[in-house]
Amino acid sequence: MREGRPVAQPPKSLFLQKSMFGLYVGALMFLSVIIAGITAYRMEGWHLSDAIYMVVITVFSVGYEEVEPVSTPTLRLITILIIIAGDASKVYFVGSLVQFITEGEIGKAMEEHRKSRDIEIINDHAIICGYGRIGQTLARELVAKKFPFLIVDNNAERVALAHSHGYQALVGDAGDEATLMEAHIERAVVLATVLPNDMVNVFITLTARNMRPDLRIIARAEDPATEKKLRQAGANEIILPAFVGGMQIANSITHPSLDSILKDTGRHLRNDLKEIGVDIVEHLVVPNGVDDRKTIQQLLRGIETRTLVLAVKKADGSLIQQPPTTYRLEANDVVMMLSLGPAV
């Protein structure tokens, strides 16, 4: 299983199913013994209350004096059969109950072991700090992109919710180095702290940056004034949901038709563009590589397709839109381009 992807909930183990079946069979046997015993005594002429009383004290081995004399061979045979069948059904039922409880605990332990093992082998993943509304949306999008991730939240209920969705998650304070070590921050490629508390996000960012100076960190901010603190703490990118939401609403008001088109097709926009020969390309400038220190004009000369440069994303998360052709690229810059296919 690829880390971070949702998986179908595993079916109950065969042993657990057998235990549940044993519980049903044991209960049915015990009830059948009681009904059969009452019916047999009634057929011998006993009153219903006396028959019920006799069967109960017999199957539970209480040993009180019989309400009616058990003097005939038929009554004695009925009593013997009730004792044997009652004890057998009780033993069967109790054994099935113990097996059911034991296997349930073993199953839980095995499931916890599996989760721990999956976390131990996770690699090149994203760490999502917080599984609230934004964390859940982020997880779904990463699943769609088949990007491995691990959720960290100090709320056990939210972690249990993540597990129920089929995601890998662990309980812990993401601002604690021990928790981030358990999340294997040393093997992560990005950390996203999306908690609704800005100060907590600042602290998590600071902790993660001290542990991994080269880690890409994306932080959520509710208050625009927190953006500066997050950058000082080491965040590469800051997302302000309120600002983004406000801009989207403004676009919906001022450009309703265009916004509707982008909203309806944004998820599949890249595939649709490919069908007409247009592709969105993100070109990373490798340190000390071929394109390091080249100008955009020099970069485009080495590309066979017709290309339009949209922006350059810096290593610190800042964005240079429509850069001039004389702009000189630096290590870890990401050049975002529209590839229009080969010239004709």
How far lies 11's CA from each of 6, 96, 108, 169, 244, in Å? 15, 20, 13, 21, 42
Q: Residue 96's pLDDT band (boundaries 50, 70, 90)? A: confident
How far lies 65's CA from each of 57, 59, 187, in Å? 9, 14, 75
Question: Does the pLDDT at position 344 exceed 50?
Answer: no
How are beta strands 216-220 and 334-342 bridged, if at all?
A: unpaired
Q: Note the pLDDT tens digit of each residue in 62-87.
A: 767 777 777 788 888 888 888 888 88
Tell me whether residue 332 is exposed, middle or buried, using C-beta atoms within 10 angstroms of its C-beta: 0 to 12, 13 to 18, 19 or more: middle
Question: Does the pLDDT at position 322 exceed 90?
Answer: no
Q: Note the pLDDT tens digit of each residue in 158-193.
A: 999 998 898 989 999 999 999 999 999 999 999 999
Q: What is the mean pLDDT of the chain?
A: 80
Q: Which residues contact 200 (CB under 8 A, 6 or more apart)?
A: 175, 193
User: CA nearest 233: which of 197, 196, 208?
Assistant: 208
Cross-strand partners of 338: 280, 308
- Domain 268-342: give its CATH architecture: 2-Layer Sandwich (3.30)
Q: Note the pLDDT tens digit of each residue in 117-161.
A: 667 788 899 999 999 989 999 999 999 888 999 999 999 999 999
Confidence at residue 4, expressed as pLDDT on a 0 to 100 scale: 47
Give a three-class secondary structure readout of 275-319: HCCCEEEEEECCCCCCCCCCEHHHHHHCCCEEEEEEEEECCCCCE
Contact 41, 119 (CB under 8 A): no
Say how far apart CA 212 and CA 189 lie, in whole Å.
10
- In the sheet with 279-284, reading across from the earlier edge strand, the strands are 279-284, 334-342, 305-313, 319-321
Q: Where are the domains of the chain?
A: 14-119, 126-243, 268-342
Cross-strand partners of 321: 311
Contact 273, 339 (CB under 8 A): no
Say how far apart CA 233 and CA 217 lie, in whole Å.
10
- The CATH H-level superfamily of 126-243 is NAD(P)-binding Rossmann-like Domain (3.40.50.720)
Amino acid in position 280: I
Distance of CA 262 to the CA centre of its chain: 29
To the question of domain 14-119 being in CATH 1.10.287.70, the answer is yes
